[in-house]
Chains A and B, each alone.
Chain A
Amino acid sequence: MSQRDREIILHDVCLRDGMHPKRHQISLEQMVRIAAGLDAAGVPFIEVTHGDGLGGASVNYGFPAHSDEDYLKAVVPQMKRACISALLLPGIGTVDHLRMAHACGVGSIRVATHCTEADVSEQHIALSRKLELDTVGFLMMAHMTSPEAFARQAKLMESYGANCVYCTDSAGYMLPEDVSARIGAARAILEPSTEIGFHGHHNMAMGVANSLAAIEAGATRIDGSAAGLGAGAGNTPLEVFNAVCMRMGIHTGVDVFKLMDVAEDLVVPIMDRPISLNRDSLILGYAGVYSSFLLFAQRASAKYGVPTADILVEMGNRKAVGGQEDLIEEVAIGLVSAREESNRHTGRRHHSTAGQDVA
């Protein structure tokens, strides 16, 4: 089905999701420069602050170079057209953070919960709506629930006051048919005035394809990151998706060439290492693991001498949800003890085999 002449709203998250691979160390100057570039390219929404959203500064997720307030105060006044958004995960951030962000002039609040826990977002969504902000419900790890259950959770967020609900593929696990099923189910029961969005990760290289499936199923907002800068193998590369839209006749209002330049000239140079699809990020997608666990698993791997892949797979086995970074070190310790245990057994077996050989 042709999507020609559809209008799609792009939302860049390289200055929020991109904080994960940057260990939350993007400088104020870099943030302002990149946001201004995105604004000049015509990107209508730009998200900034800590990778885990407002109030994310912690031992658990990492302390950022600057406070949420400092980032917002630096970026918001520099925007000519773009609306700045902030992410808020109930359980990490509170309505106090939301009020602070509002006072700093954000135009959009995205309240994120695990895909089955929408009812913890009522306070935050209701306040955001009351403050007349663009109010988005953000259902994370959407692959972990059925399309029908996903739609019911979206409906809850709508009932609290969300004017848009996102299907968020935090693990980069979903395939296009998974995206279509969830967004289709939500579209069928949400009010026609409620928008639907899709946030992809590129761990299985499906970011662009999944975003197209989302549009076809009724989504009107798509997240991506310039140069893909985001957790795991990064987000849907926004400049690529924008170019694809242009070829398909989908209107985004974003300048293809200017966005390419922002990605290549401003975002790529700040990367600590290339955002790429490698073994570790592929495992995130394959095993359905929260993308921002990647760096934590790599650090635990270096500290405890167990493979990153084993840690990530075990996080998947334990059905860890977003925010459970504190489980990673424990999982690594558990793998070390399991290995020692198995070495002891192997040692014993080895011993007895040797004995049999002699006999």
Chain B
Amino acid sequence: MERVPCALIGSGNIGTDLLYKALRSRWLQPVWMVGIDLASEGLARARGAGLKTSANGLDGLLPYLAQDGVRLAFDATSAYVHARHAAALRQHGVAVVDLTPAAIGPYCVPPVNLAEHVGRGEMNVNMVSCGGQATIPIVAAISRVQPVEYAEIIATVASKSAGPGTRKNIDEFTRTTASGIERVGGAKRGKAIIILNPAEPPLMMRDTVHCLLEGDPKQKEIVASIRAMITEVQKYVPGYALKNGPLFDGQRVSVFLEVAGLGDFLPKYAGNLDIMTAAALRTGEMLAEEIASGRFDPKSPVAPAAESQS
């Protein structure tokens, strides 16, 4: 099957890391990358890889969507900007995987709920946040064993791996991650904390997950469920590792994770980039497969309800 032409919006850390992963995909063919900084390293690398580029943001891409057959886009800009992008792309019949914490579309955390998104014809799918991608699978692994009253995650990332978009959007990170912990992770209440650490050499992304359970933890089942989930995540992020735990303390379960990246754009410490871009790629590939097979046409999206009636 032919690879589906796609565009990358945003040429920062996340967009550029995604570029490398998309170039290796058998479902996606990245043809455009746009940014807002002519001198950005991301745009230079995209040109080097044979993509068309523009430093005029989405406006630089819109006139070429039709002629270049772009049906799918990845937005790695910022939550504020994405709101505008989402409307424009929908109008132009381009489905979008949103890597900002804008949370306009439904959340996708691939090992937990990618399958639910298949066949829904969604024009906008949101990837929550890097911290969400790293921790929600663990919350879900626990909540599928027994009810989770409260889940809290602490994501610590190297300062160098957090670009200006992330920094301007820090509240959106905490809010969107907390809501993803509830909606996808299955916790009744969620809380997210993010810490930036400037240490040199930069530290590997660390994530701590604390769950407060209803009732006493079914320790054996929880351990098995977490191990199975970690194996699922490792299929697309090989550097995803359990550092310590699960520790059981009364009704609390704590899990300590470390995420090493593939070192595609930033070095391996930036596991927060990889877990986001790898999850977005997997989601994009699912959409591309739907598009290539004719089951999903972003030019005339069908509401799932209407589809089931026909």
| Residues of A that sit less than 8 Å from B by CB | 58-60, 90-92, 94-96, 114, 116-117, 119-120, 122-124, 144, 318-321, 323-324, 326-327, 329-330, 333
Contacts and interface: CB of A to CB of B under 8 A. Distances in A.
Contacts of A320: 197
Contact of A330 (B167, B196, B256): B256
A116 B158 CA distance: 12
A58 B193 contact: yes
Contacts, number: 85
Given A321-B199, A323-B195, 6 more contacts: A91-B174, A94-B171, A117-B159, A123-B168, A321-B195, A327-B206
Interface in B188-239: 191, 193-199, 203, 206, 208, 210, 212
Prevailing SS type, chain A contact patch = mixed
A323 B193 contact: yes
Interface in B161-182: 164, 167-168, 170-171, 173-175
A116 B159 contact: yes
A119 B164 contact: yes
B16 to A, nearest CB: 20
Contacts of A124: 171
A329 B254 contact: yes
Interface in B243-301: 243-244, 247, 252, 254, 256
A219 B256 CA distance: 41
Contacts of A144: 198
B156 interface: yes
A99 to B, nearest CB: 11
B89 interface: no
Contact of B193 (A60, A318, A327): A60
B225 to A, nearest CB: 20
A318 B201 CA distance: 10
B197 A319 contact: yes
Nearest to A334: B244
A123 B195 contact: no
Contacts of A333: 244
Given A123-B170, A324-B156, A329-B254, A318 B199 contact: yes
B17 interface: no
A321 B170 contact: no
Contact of B174 (A60, A94, A318): A94
A203 B252 CA distance: 33
Give the interface residue-count category, chain B: 20 to 34
A90 B174 CA distance: 9
B167 A120 contact: yes
A96 B191 CA distance: 14
18 contacts: A59-B210, A92-B174, A95-B171, A114-B198, A116-B159, A117-B159, A117-B167, A117-B196, A119-B168, A120-B170, A124-B171, A319-B203, A324-B197, A326-B154, A326-B156, A327-B156, A330-B244, A333-B244
A91 B194 contact: yes
Contacts of B194: 91
A145 to B, nearest CB: 8
Contacts of A120: 167, 170, 196
B122 interface: no
Nearest to A91: B194
B75 interface: no
B292 to A, nearest CB: 40
B152 interface: yes
Nearest to B169: A123
A123 B174 CA distance: 13
Contact of A324 (B173, B195, B252, B256): B195
Contacts of A114: 196-198
B156 A60 contact: no
A117 B196 CA distance: 7
B256 A91 contact: no
